[in-house]
Chain A
Amino acid sequence: MSAPAADDLIDASSVIVCCGSGGVGKTTTAAVLGLEAARRGRRAVVVTIDPARRLADALGLVDGLASEPQRIELDDSTGELWAMMLDTAATFDGIVRANAENDEQVDRILNNAFYRNIAGALSGTQEYMAAETLHALHADDRFDLVVVDTPPSRNALDFLDAPGVLSRFLDHRLFKLLMLPARSGLKVIGTATQPILRAVGRVVGSDVLADSVAFFQAFAGMETGFRERADDVIALIRAPETSFVVVASARHDTIAEAVWFVDQLVEQGIEVTAAIVNRAHPAFGEGSADDALHASVDAAAAGEAGLAALWRNVADLRTLRERELAVIGPLAKVAGEERVVVLPLLDRDVHDLDGLRTIAAHLFDHPIVER
């Protein structure tokens, strides 16, 4: 357990990116980091991509999270905690508005069926919009710390790469092909007769094709603005004030995923500030699982069935903890022993502010205040 790594994370970052596979407590971890930052007097905003009510419930937001930052009332903090949910489509609309030459171009793009599909479904769009939102919040004077949890992707690089996705899309051969008639003044119908487009049209149907051609033509002139913005976002993600936290649970498969994440980040020249392992069974007393098992056998032999059961219980829980700590080994090796923080499984589900505070107390090594 290393509280300094966690302290450093809060005090020295202006952006914290949480990565990890699905279901390891990434959203909860992001909320805990935001809560602790507020306790330390910072103005933190937590952005989640999780559409489930999890974070909203934990933060006590009855109506759920909005796509605009909402302030969370805290009575124990000198700073501020805000939270919001990523709205991929609305964020994309915002970038279109910011880059379009006029309202007419905005309308043509936003009303296009193909655009609506890309805004919601182009692979990498969600990651890209998370990065974009991060950039916008970082520039917002209301906040001095932005904590974001990334979409549950198998590939950590999807997030780092995300702003490049659209650039590549715009550089795509098909896009260039579609842009040609717009420049030479030909009509959509002319474009659709090109062999490759006829082929696409036969597969997906001609209506879909007509929509996509119309989209690319409406997009003309905006590529440069989009590319410049993507470059700014990439620079922020790679800036020294941006910290990366890898989150895992104390199980073999999620640790393997976390090791994979750390390796990928390191390959990109990005250092992991902390690796947080959630839901490890707590330690009960001194001694090993074997010690407890022996004590259980001895008690049973002495005819003390109740005591034997109590020792057997300790043996079970210690067995789990020993096995969990053993699977964490490879993560400690790649991330650095001092950067790994192991957090305990609580005796109840974490679904309110008090639960988040208990986790924060373990993470930052301060006394647990029962409220």
Chain B
Amino acid sequence: MAGKGGVGKTTVTAVIARAASRAGQRVLVVELDGKPALAELVPDLEVLPISAPEALDEYLRDNGFARIAKRLNRTGVIDMVGTAAPGIDDIVVLGKIKQLERSGQYDLIVVDGPAAGHAITFLTSAAGLADSVRSGPVRAQADDVLELLHDPQRCQVVLVTLAETTPVNEVIETAFALEDQVGVQLGPVVVNGVDDGIDLPDESATVALVAGLEPEVAEALVDAAAFRRSRRQMEAQELARLDEQLPIPQIVLPAKLVAGLTPDDIDDLAAVLAVHEDGPT
């Protein structure tokens, strides 16, 4: 899952995991940001936090470098190793995910990607390392990760956005950058928080309907309807523009009347997603 801050990437991660679990799949949710929120949204699913230093340590131990791992840890050099070869922390995290995928324990692993804007660096780390590190265990790891990223049967990136101007601009840029620089298969783009609520009378009908009401009440009704129509119009325009400029399937998740989602909301949204799944994706 990839998307800028504030678009609801964590929410959509939870929704997709929930929908897959409902469909009978064995699901693992991977969380890279140290956000406790994700586990709270899917209380009964397996959520695994992965941190780079732990993943590097584990990788070295598993690959016959136990003595080196111990020494690197003792001297605090582990962060220096990350500095010497940037991307090494990303690569061990991706490597760990690849290992989980290869274990055959899960039908689907949903990864709540790294924080705002780092999705591209995160996913290009393997290609970058393969260029700069010509041998050693890290190189082998980078090669395995590249193979995973380039195989559309095994790995897809799902982009998340809102139906607003700036998030749509950013998701289009990210999509093309991912295809060009990473060569990874894009899944559908998920548009989060779109208003699909009640039908509203149009502007002139509204004015006619409030005639005869107290002026303050009439004003509140007219202003509220105008506000919502305007937001909806913007959302419709942005959805159309996204469709035109990014020709991949869209999944639209409806807005909820809340200031923070609960596991029940995630269940509802997963049901919406299940309806989508019946169509072509």
Residues of A within 8 A of B (CB): 21-24, 51-54, 57, 113-114, 117-118, 120-123, 152, 154, 172-174, 195-196, 199-200, 202-209, 211-212, 249-254, 282, 284-286, 304, 306-307, 309-314, 316-317, 319-320, 323-324, 326-327, 347-349, 351
- Contact of A117 with B83 in the complex, beta carbons under 8 Å: yes
- Between-chain CB contacts (< 8 Å), 14 pairs: A52-B170, A152-B116, A173-B76, A203-B60, A203-B72, A204-B85, A204-B138, A211-B84, A310-B209, A314-B220, A314-B224, A320-B258, A327-B259, A347-B234
Residues of B within 8 A of A (CB): 4-7, 10, 33-34, 37, 60, 65, 67-68, 71-72, 75-77, 79-88, 115-117, 132-139, 164-166, 169-170, 197-201, 205-206, 209-210, 216-217, 219-221, 223-228, 230-231, 234, 257-260
A117 CB to nearest chain B CB (Å): 5
B33: which A residues are within 8 A, CB to CB?
Answer: 154
- Contact of B198 with A196 in the complex, beta carbons under 8 Å: no
B200: which A residues are within 8 A, CB to CB?
Answer: 309-310, 313
Name the one of A172, A203, A349 contacting B81, with C-beta atoms under 8 angstroms: A203
Given contacts A174-B75, A205-B135, contact A349 B220 (CB under 8 A): no
- Contact of A173 with B81 in the complex, beta carbons under 8 Å: no
Given contacts A114-B84, A205-B134, A351-B166, 6 further A-B contacts (CB under 8 A): A23-B4, A252-B260, A307-B210, A313-B197, A313-B224, A320-B257
Closest chain A residue, CB of each to CB of B221: A310
Interface residues of B, dominant DSSP: helix
Closest chain A residue, CB of each to CB of B230: A347
A212 vs B86: C-alpha distance in the bound complex, in angstroms? 12
B76: which A residues are within 8 A, CB to CB?
Answer: 172-173
B137: which A residues are within 8 A, CB to CB?
Answer: 202-203
B224: which A residues are within 8 A, CB to CB?
Answer: 284-285, 310, 313-314, 317
Name the one of B134, B201, B217, B220 contacting A309, with C-beta atoms under 8 angstroms: B201
B3 CB to nearest chain A CB (Å): 9
Interface residues of A, dominant DSSP: helix
Name the one of A172, A310, A320, A351 contacting B165, with C-beta atoms under 8 angstroms: A351
- Contact of B260 with A253 in the complex, beta carbons under 8 Å: yes
- Contact of B84 with A212 in the complex, beta carbons under 8 Å: yes
A24 vs B82: C-alpha distance in the bound complex, in angstroms? 30
- Contact of B5 with A203 in the complex, beta carbons under 8 Å: no
- Contact of A252 with B259 in the complex, beta carbons under 8 Å: yes
A207 vs B84: C-alpha distance in the bound complex, in angstroms? 10
B87: which A residues are within 8 A, CB to CB?
Answer: 121
- Contact of A306 with B201 in the complex, beta carbons under 8 Å: yes
Most chain B beta carbons < 10 A, residue from A249, A251, A327: A251
B132: which A residues are within 8 A, CB to CB?
Answer: 113, 205, 207-208
- Contact of B34 with A203 in the complex, beta carbons under 8 Å: no
B18 CB to nearest chain A CB (Å): 18
A310 vs B134: C-alpha distance in the bound complex, in angstroms? 66
B260: which A residues are within 8 A, CB to CB?
Answer: 251-253, 323, 327
A304 vs B206: C-alpha distance in the bound complex, in angstroms? 12
Given contacts A306-B205, A313-B200, contact A347 B257 (CB under 8 A): no
Closest chain B residue, CB of each to CB of A173: B75
A57: which B residues are within 8 A, CB to CB?
Answer: 166
Given contacts A117-B86, A309-B201, contact A207 B259 (CB under 8 A): no
- Contact of B166 with A174 in the complex, beta carbons under 8 Å: no
A121: which B residues are within 8 A, CB to CB?
Answer: 83, 86-87
A212 vs B88: C-alpha distance in the bound complex, in angstroms? 15
B37: which A residues are within 8 A, CB to CB?
Answer: 253
- Contact of A284 with B71 in the complex, beta carbons under 8 Å: no
Most chain A beta carbons < 10 A, residue from B164, B169, B209, B219: B209
Closest chain A residue, CB of each to CB of B231: A347
A138 vs B116: C-alpha distance in the bound complex, in angstroms? 28
B67: which A residues are within 8 A, CB to CB?
Answer: 199
A117 vs B76: C-alpha distance in the bound complex, in angstroms? 19
- Contact of A174 with B68 in the complex, beta carbons under 8 Å: no
A120: which B residues are within 8 A, CB to CB?
Answer: 86
A65 CB to nearest chain B CB (Å): 15
- Contact of A310 with B210 in the complex, beta carbons under 8 Å: yes
A117 vs B83: C-alpha distance in the bound complex, in angstroms? 7
A21 vs B87: C-alpha distance in the bound complex, in angstroms? 23
A117 vs B87: C-alpha distance in the bound complex, in angstroms? 10
A22: which B residues are within 8 A, CB to CB?
Answer: 4-6, 115-117
- Contact of A199 with B134 in the complex, beta carbons under 8 Å: no
A156 vs B253: C-alpha distance in the bound complex, in angstroms? 32
- Contact of A319 with B257 in the complex, beta carbons under 8 Å: yes
Give 4 nearest A-B pairs by CB, closest first: A23-B6, A22-B5, A252-B260, A285-B220
A323 vs B225: C-alpha distance in the bound complex, in angstroms? 20
A211 vs B83: C-alpha distance in the bound complex, in angstroms? 12
A24: which B residues are within 8 A, CB to CB?
Answer: 5-6
- Contact of B259 with A250 in the complex, beta carbons under 8 Å: yes
A205 vs B225: C-alpha distance in the bound complex, in angstroms? 64
Closest chain B residue, CB of each to CB of A121: B86
- Contact of A317 with B227 in the complex, beta carbons under 8 Å: yes
A154 vs B31: C-alpha distance in the bound complex, in angstroms? 14
A202 vs B67: C-alpha distance in the bound complex, in angstroms? 12
Most chain A beta carbons < 10 A, residue from B84, B133, B231: B84
- Contact of A209 with B84 in the complex, beta carbons under 8 Å: yes
- Contact of B259 with A324 in the complex, beta carbons under 8 Å: yes
Closest chain B residue, CB of each to CB of A118: B83
A205 CB to nearest chain B CB (Å): 4
- Contact of B6 with A323 in the complex, beta carbons under 8 Å: no
Closest chain B residue, CB of each to CB of A304: B209
- Contact of B219 with A285 in the complex, beta carbons under 8 Å: yes
- Contact of A284 with B88 in the complex, beta carbons under 8 Å: no
A210 CB to nearest chain B CB (Å): 10
A310: which B residues are within 8 A, CB to CB?
Answer: 200-201, 206, 209-210, 221, 224-225
